[in-house]
């Protein structure tokens, strides 16, 4: 597995290497990335794991369903906003850059 | 170098530790926990992890290695026995530990119940991982379960146990379930939904005594009903853990009293999470709130105060509860509401109750409606008097409502 880079809420970037994390929220939490509070523990209830992913758009699907419903009301939502707990990790995410946004 | 000690390693304490680590890179941070486990998510204990095979690792708040990596010393099996605020030390592991700043994040313990005829070890509670394990073991040989208390924990447990095929009875002393937190419409809705899944309810009644049977108990209610149950679970609320604070003269009343920065009346001692009675500027009153969001928000506020970062008021309180396929999200405070406006479709199990007071939306309960929940959060935060007919108009989407309200 390669490197996934987070840009935290203060603009600091940090490279991480997934071990056994299932989704991007867990990876962020496990690396103490500032701005990912993940209050609901990943059950798509809180939107405190909001990120924007502007690269690798071909392999990162857009938000849909409950995730999209939550995101539609997140104040600083962008086109490529996702809830990181809903983005599953696999090898295709190598070199991904994930920008942390506040909920 | 600042020495920071945190008593209690759960949602509040752990969030404070990691936030502080980011804010004060060279601080010495120690967390003392009386549990033998590393910190874990509590909400799944009555939900997913009660229904499925699961282990502690599945629900850990952070992997163990992360504490070491961030130089946060986590002491398991280390109850703090007292605080000496004159010398700024706490006592644990038969030793003294010095602090510059102390954070009390001791949470609460279940309110206990005695039942005439039932041995106290046969009354189960769900507060921590060990409680949940004990319950899971007992469930292996149990078919019928009595749940005392129709609050969130009781109802989530009821749902989880129905999913596992157990016979479930819920007894509630008040005249409706969830009466402390939801409006009657929601209480009725939740009771009917549980009934449709096969839960048996006894409302407005209490257990008076019980007789031991070969496997479990035969219990009698005040109104004379008889219930047989292999297992008895009690979920009637928690009592905040305030002893350490009380002993050294910190003001307590329904929790440890703290100001908007989470400070107690002793300047360098803070209290956060379920144990704190926090002064909410937004509401002009002290409130003790039991939720993960409240724990993390107060952790953030207290960390900022310790590290000298600017104060940012906590966001409006919110909470979630999962029962069967119903995801409920509540936001705001519905104390003193005057009217309810319902949007969505109750029959389709996708609807939201808006609580209104003085022409403002003060709270909302959203069932399977994450968008309405997020919208309600914004609406409630703005705290604006609005034309309610717009909200009543179901042909408008919630975003259109917000546009018309200029929010
Ligand atoms: C079964 C269950 C389901 C829940 N579901 C939800 C939900 O869906 N959504 C939600 O928002 N909230 C939910 N909650 C509530 C939420 O878990 C609590 O609000 C949250 O855990 C509060 O965190 P805390 O850190 O303040 O306190 P706690 O989690 O109670 O932690 C306090 C810790 O301090 C320890 N401690 C106490 N005294 C000492 C001492 N003297 N020395 C050392 N350690 C000490 C305790 O053992 C404990 O480990 C649920 C709670 C339970 C029990
Ligand atoms: S962690 Fe709550 S929505 Fe992602």
The confidence score (pLDDT) of residue B53 equals 84
Position A41 confidence tier, pLDDT thresholds 50, 70, 90: confident
Pair of tokens at residue A17? 């290497």
Residue B169: closest CA among B153, B143, B147, B151? B147
Chain A positions in Cβ-Cβ contact with residue B374 (cut-off 8 Å)? 47, 69-70, 72-74
Position B341 confidence tier, pLDDT thresholds 50, 70, 90: very high
The confidence score (pLDDT) of residue B58 equals 86
List domains and CATH numbers for chain A.
4-100 (3.10.20.30)
Q: Give B172-211 pLDDT, tens digit per residue.
A: 999 999 999 999 999 999 999 999 999 999 999 999 999 9
Q: Residue B266 and residue B258: Cα distance in Å, rounded?
A: 10
The confidence score (pLDDT) of residue B229 equals 98
B298 phi-psi bin (left φ>0, alpha ψ -120 to 50, beta other): alpha
Position B136 confidence tier, pLDDT thresholds 50, 70, 90: very high
Instruction: Evaluate whether ipTM surpasses 0.90.
Output: no
Q: What percent of chain B has pLDDT over 90?
A: 97
Q: Give B88-125 pLDDT, tens digit per residue.
A: 999 999 999 999 999 999 999 999 999 999 999 999 99
The confidence score (pLDDT) of residue B1 equals 79
- Residue A46 above 90 pLDDT? no
Position A103 confidence tier, pLDDT thresholds 50, 70, 90: low
Pair of tokens at residue A33? 């990335």
CB B46 within 8 A of CB B59: no
CB B215 within 8 A of CB B207: no
Instruction: Tell me what the mean pLDDT of segment B63-75 comes to.
Output: 95
> Are the Cβ atoms of B22 and A39 closer than 8 angstroms?
no
List domains and CATH numbers for chain B.
3-108+239-307 (3.50.50.60), 112-234 (3.50.50.60), 325-404 (3.30.390.30)
Q: What does pTM read for this prediction?
A: 0.95
- Show the DSSP H helices in B214-291 as ranges: 243-247
* CA A59 / ligand 2 centre spacing (Å): 21
Pair of tokens at residue B23? 């804010």
Residue B36: closest CA among B155, B103, B146, B129? B129
From A51, A83, A102, the mutation candidate for ligand 2 (largest count of ligand atoms within 8 A of CB) is A83
- Residue A38 CA, closest ligand 2 atom number: 1
Chain B positions in Cβ-Cβ contact with residue A72 (cut-off 8 Å)? 371, 374, 399
What residues are in contact with ligand 1 under a 6 Å CB criterion? B 7-13, 32-35, 42-43, 45-46, 79-80, 105-108, 126-127, 153, 241, 244, 273-274, 290-293, 295, 319-321
Q: What percent of chain B has pLDDT over 70?
A: 100
Beta bridge partners of B217: B212, B229
Q: How many CA atoms lie within 13 A of B288 on its CB side?
A: 20
Residue B94 makes CB contacts below 8 A (sequence gap 6+) with none
The confidence score (pLDDT) of residue B171 equals 98
The confidence score (pLDDT) of residue A20 equals 85
The tokens 């009698």 sit on which residue? Answer: B220
Position B283 confidence tier, pLDDT thresholds 50, 70, 90: very high
| A32 touches B at CB < 8 Å | yes
With H, G, I as helix, E, B as strand and everything else as coil, classify residue B277: strand
Chain B positions in Cβ-Cβ contact with residue A86 (cut-off 8 Å)? none
CA dist B163 → B17, B158, B159, B167 (Å): 37, 9, 6, 10
- B residues 384..403 contacting A (CB < 8 A): 399
Note the ligand closest to the C-alpha atom of B11. 1
The confidence score (pLDDT) of residue A58 equals 85
Q: Give B144-182 pLDDT, tens digit per residue.
A: 999 999 999 999 999 999 999 999 999 999 999 999 999
Residue B124: closest CA among B222, B235, B265? B235
> Are the Cβ atoms of B329 and A45 closer than 8 angstroms?
yes
The angle at the Cα of B191, spanning B190 to B193, to the nearest 5 degrees, equals 65
């Amino acid at each position: 597995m390669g490197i996934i880079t987070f840009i935290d809420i203060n603009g600091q970037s940090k490279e991480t290497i997934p071990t056994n994390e299932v989704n991007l929220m867990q990876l962020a939490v496990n690396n103490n990335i500032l701005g990912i509070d993940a209050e609901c523990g990943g059950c798509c209830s809180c939107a405190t794991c909001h990120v924007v992913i502007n690269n690798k758009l071909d392999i990162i699907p857009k938000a849909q369903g409950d995730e999209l419903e939550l995101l539609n009301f997140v104040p600083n939502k962008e086109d490529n906003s996702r809830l990181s707990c809903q983005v599953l990790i696999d090898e295709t995410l190598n070199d991904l850059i994930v920008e942390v946004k506040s909920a | 170098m600042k020495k920071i000690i945190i008593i209690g390693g759960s949602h509040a304490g752990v969030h404070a530790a990691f936030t502080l680590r980011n804010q004060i890179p060279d601080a010495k941070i120690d967390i003392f926990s009386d549990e033998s486990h590393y910190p874990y998510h509590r909400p799944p204990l009555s939900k997913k992890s009660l229904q499925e095979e699961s282990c502690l690792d599945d629900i850990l708040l952070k992997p163990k290695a992360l504490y070491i990596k961030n130089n946060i010393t986590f002491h398991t099996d280390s109850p703090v026995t007292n605080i000496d605020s004159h010398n700024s030390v706490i006592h644990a592991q038969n030793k003294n530990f010095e602090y510059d700043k102390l954070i009390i994040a001791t949470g609460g313990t279940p309110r206990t119940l005695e039942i005439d005829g039932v041995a106290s070890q046969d009354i189960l509670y769900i507060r921590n991982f060990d409680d949940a394990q004990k319950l899971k073991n007992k469930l292996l040989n149990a078919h019928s379960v009595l749940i005392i208390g129709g609050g969130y924990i009781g109802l989530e447990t009821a749902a989880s146990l129905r999913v596992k095929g157990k016979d479930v009875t819920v007894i509630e002393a008040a005249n409706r379930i969830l009466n402390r937190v939801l409006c009657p419409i929601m209480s009725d809705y939740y009771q009917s939904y549980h009934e449709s899944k096969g839960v048996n309810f006894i409302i407005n009644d209490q257990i008076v005594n019980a007789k031991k049977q070969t496997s479990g108990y035969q219990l009698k209610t005040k109104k004379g009903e008889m219930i047989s149950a292999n297992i008895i679970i009690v979920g009637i609320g928690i009592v905040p853990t305030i002893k350490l604070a009380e002993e050294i003269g910190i003001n307590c009343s329904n929790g440890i009293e703290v100001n908007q920065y989470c400070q107690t009346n002793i300047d360098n001692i803070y209290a956060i999470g379920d144990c704190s009675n926090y002064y909410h500027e937004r509401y002009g009153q002290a409130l003790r709130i039991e939720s993960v969001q409240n724990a993390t928000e107060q952790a953030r506020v207290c960390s900022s105060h310790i590290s000298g970062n600017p104060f940012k008021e906590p966001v409006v309180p919110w909470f979630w509860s999962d029962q069967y396929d119903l995801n409920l999200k509540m936001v705001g405070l519905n104390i003193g509401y005057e009217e309810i406006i319902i949007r969505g479709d109750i029959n389709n199990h996708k609807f939201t109750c808006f609580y209104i007071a003085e022409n403002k939306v003060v709270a909302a309960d959203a069932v399977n409606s994450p968008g309405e929940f997020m919208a309600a959060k914004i609406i409630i935060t703005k705290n604006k008097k609005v034309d309610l007919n717009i909200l009543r108009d179901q042909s408008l989407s919630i975003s259109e409502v917000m546009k018309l309200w200029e929010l």
